[in-house]
Structure 1
């Protein structure tokens, strides 16, 4: 019932359109209900009395009813499609908006394909239920209830014979529906697994080809397909069993009615027209019953999808604005870590008692072996995660007390893996400040050493760069990312291995751009190449989540510790 109530919340704004569609559905169903009654009247009254005028009137009535039914069917189809599309748009938007609010941990613990499946496969399953199944449910419910009422009106004794098998049919539908819901959730999960697999392998197609692992990946894909097939066939098994059971039970009831009804006509207790009408209603009765069983199964599948959607919507963001959070005023860039500890998984600390200060305009470098916790440290500054203990302050203000938007609005990040969006170069740079002018975009590109190569592109700034900037080189992508950060004009700058994947020429151009970008800003640089951090005001050396050394380059080299060891290794190479 909780799921029904939550779906009803999205239905409410469009209740008028849905109600109108349901009225149209009822009218269309009522026409079908009335037609067998007309057949009985023709047999008992028109043909027996040879009344031509009555026959003409019935013919005109039938045509008028069919026209009314056609108009009603158009109304039900259009209005339900309109309402369901609107509802699905609202659900998909809320889901996407909620995903944007969730912390980085949510995305790190789930494959991207699984997350995509929530918005695609699960929402699509819910959409099908809202469009076709609601119409079918109302249509066949009206047909079923109306037929039963008319059957009782024609002959209650014959109707009792029909009701012998009816409870068994309802029981069969209920049991199969429960099984369908369980198996449908499994099917949705298998579909999500396939989406996750495709996302992973298609994005890594270069690695697959370089290792000649096409056959291996095909075997893995076949395995996922087989699991999806097995989950689907379990649903088919349920559907395959329920249909013949309903048909058998319905046929037993119809046979009993024909036998008893025939005796009633022979004995003069029932007219031939009434028996024909009764039989038409009874023969048509299994169709809505069977369709309602299918609708029930489809609704169970939709509820399984809705349950997955609402489970995501119910996840509370681990990082969010605290109660009474205030806007962070423009900062100078004084950053202080006070005994900060952090862990991704309970009981497995990644950082332990980290303390340091970075003064406004200074360059701070963070070095150390892989897995030391360097990236985690800088990811705590924009509150991608919350520390377990300790505090982080900017200009003396605890970052947990300010809004995320005002905090992150003053921090710029240039990561090692440059993420660009499909679209033009201009759009990607403008992403740093959507209100910037064209002149400001061009100035940012010049500052990032990107303007010259952009002007050599086929359409200059309006050149489309493909998905994730695939049509650009690594150095070009990095300079676009730097231009984007320049346009944002942050007071605090984070550079995470920004030049590690570049060739010498590209690194020189990118480093020049970074030097301009860091001027006058509090900058945090993570780098394995120690040549890039020698001029830092402060270098902290990390190992196993702790700060083991700190100082400037000259002092750390003379100290003979971990930094000196790393420097000697790189210098010898």
Structure 2
């Protein structure tokens, strides 16, 4: 099983980066040309040394093999050979520099393109995926794994191509010079391949486990930092640190195993190269004594051997990196293979500003875990109606809202806005018809002004300030150190809950959408903060279609209509007054429980 999986993992890694390499074909072509020139200069570099040694030995009276036609050494010849060697070395160094820079640039740009592609893909995945995925591991794939994949794709992969090309060219040259000694080089390459084959599989397996462990560590760290108040308040530092330490030690063990295997392969390669060098040195020396080759040819052959063995050493050195990067590539491929469940159809058109009439017709849809929830749900919400959704957890309230926004699509049936199926319009225009306000308002680590402007990106500064004024947020914003230009902390945690909600309301006001969704928007606020937020929400919702998910009894009395959901079915539907006339209604029982709870608390 492992044997069949790892080559596939390498192909996966190369497959996901290949389209991005093609975009930078000019740099790749330039790098390859420089690489080919470097190989050519490597082939020529030993020749000046051969001429010098053979000419000097001829001048000293040594007998050279017949047909060598080597001139005797002169000052001019020696200086010319020295100058030629310097020129060849300098040219090879320049070509190496150019190819290295070109490949490094390609690698950085490919990594940037791929990271953008993966991040874009993750953003459009359904809520079902995000509900199950762990954000720390996803971030680890986006940042760490793509960086490692860069190594196998370009930084290591393309130079290795040059090394392999150099080896084959020099092997051919050595076969022409001395076929018998060249067999030693071929034998060394075969020995390396046999040695590396088993090691690379083991290194990849260990690297895969290491990367998964590091992903789990990232999850633990992200979850701990997001919930740091709870961790500190409940004294969970030691418990969380213990879990982190355990995962850290597991990742460390696998990482050490991977590097130990890679180091073992490198040392075995050193031994193979040493044995090959010794055989060529002894065999070549005997052939010089026997008159089969000149001393200069032996020295040139040894230089070729050294150059030809460098690719083997580099392959051994890069095998560990390639194996680790392949494991990372596998994780990136898994992320890109996650299907996009909600997308624009080829015929999707922009949705004009709607009145806000919502229609659910025979809707069948699963819950967030993929289990059946709605089975034939039909519902009509007129434009401008204020609807309150009630019901136990898991009854389908959030799923119903998700269907309007196309966070999920029904498996059958339809959801319509003003008679238009939401699947027939573009996601951007559809979601532009809706403002949503959540219990935990999401703010970003940027200025207050930009947080509000996210409601409508083309809004002017005056529009932003007007929205803040309508949302009763202007007073506390201007009191901040830099006013609207104050940069908020992560998730807006430098503000109180009520302040965050009012900025979120200002953002919704700026959006000016005909449909407003309020999901537990005042839960957790103190009475004074809630009253200010509710006043702002009154302005936001006036004249719009409003869908409120709440467990607050005061929100029910302001609604035009109450829908009670259980197990994906609407079991009560009517105005609050109508439903409260029936003492046995679920709404009556629920409100009675709420009042009892309030009395007990007071």
TM-score normalised over the length of structure 1: 0.94
Task: Give 1:19's aligned residue.
Answer: 29
Task: Give 1:204's aligned residue.
Answer: 227
1:220 paired to 2:243: yes
C-alpha deviation, 1:40, in angstroms: 2.5
Q: How many correspondences in the alignment?
A: 573
2:493 and 2:34 map into 1 onto residues whose CA distance is 52
1:76 paired to 2:122: no
1:74 and 1:159 map into 2 onto residues whose CA distance is 30
2:224 and 2:43 map into 1 onto residues whose CA distance is 55
1:6 and 1:550 map into 2 onto residues whose CA distance is 51
Q: Which secondary structure state, in structure 2, belongs to the residue aligned with residue 511 of structure 1?
A: helix
Kept after mapping to 2: 8 A contact 1:338/1:391 = yes
1:356 paired to 2:366: no
1:188 and 1:38 map into 2 onto residues whose CA distance is 49
Q: Which secondary structure state, in structure 2, belongs to the residue aligned with residue 150 of structure 1?
A: helix
1:564 paired to 2:574: no
C-alpha deviation, 1:358, in angstroms: 1.7
Aligned counterpart in structure 2 of residue 140 of structure 1, from 147, 153, 163: 163
Structure 1: which 5+ residue stretches go unaligned? none
C-alpha deviation, 1:224, in angstroms: 1.4
Task: Give 1:488's aligned residue.
Answer: 511
Deviations 1:56-111 (A, max 9, x none): 11222222223323322331232222222222222112112222221111111110
Q: Which secondary structure state, in structure 2, belongs to the residue aligned with residue 533 of structure 1?
A: helix
Summarize the Cα distance change of 1:249–1:59 in structure 2 as closer, same or farther, 3 Å threshold: closer
Q: 164-173 or 490-499: which moved more? A: 164-173
Deviations 1:298-353 (A, max 9, x none): 33433332333233223321122234223322211111223434323778333444
TM-score normalised over the length of structure 2: 0.90
1:514 paired to 2:537: yes
2:93 and 2:180 map into 1 onto residues whose CA distance is 35
Deviations 1:228-247 (A, max 9, x none): 12322332243133223333
1:538 paired to 2:561: yes
Q: 280-289 or 98-107: which moved more? A: 280-289
Deviations 1:129-179 (A, max 9, x none): 344313531342243224323322332222224433432222223333344
1:463 and 1:136 map into 2 onto residues whose CA distance is 48
Task: Give 1:186's aligned residue.
Answer: 209
Task: Give 1:121's aligned residue.
Answer: 144
Kept after mapping to 1: 8 A contact 2:442/2:491 = yes
Q: CA RMSD in A?
A: 2.2
2:233 and 2:369 map into 1 onto residues whose CA distance is 38
Task: Give 2:491's aligned residue.
Answer: 468
Summarize the Cα distance change of 1:220–1:274 in structure 2 as closer, same or farther, 3 Å threshold: same
Deviations 1:167-214 (A, max 9, x none): 222222333334433433333322222222211111111111111111
2:370 and 2:185 map into 1 onto residues whose CA distance is 66
Q: 198-207 or 23-32: which moved more? A: 23-32
1:263 and 1:370 map into 2 onto residues whose CA distance is 88
Q: 188-197 or 415-424: which moved more? A: 188-197
Summarize the Cα distance change of 1:438–1:251 in structure 2 as closer, same or farther, 3 Å threshold: closer
Mapping 1:256-405, distance limit 5 Å: 256-344=279-367, 348-405=371-428
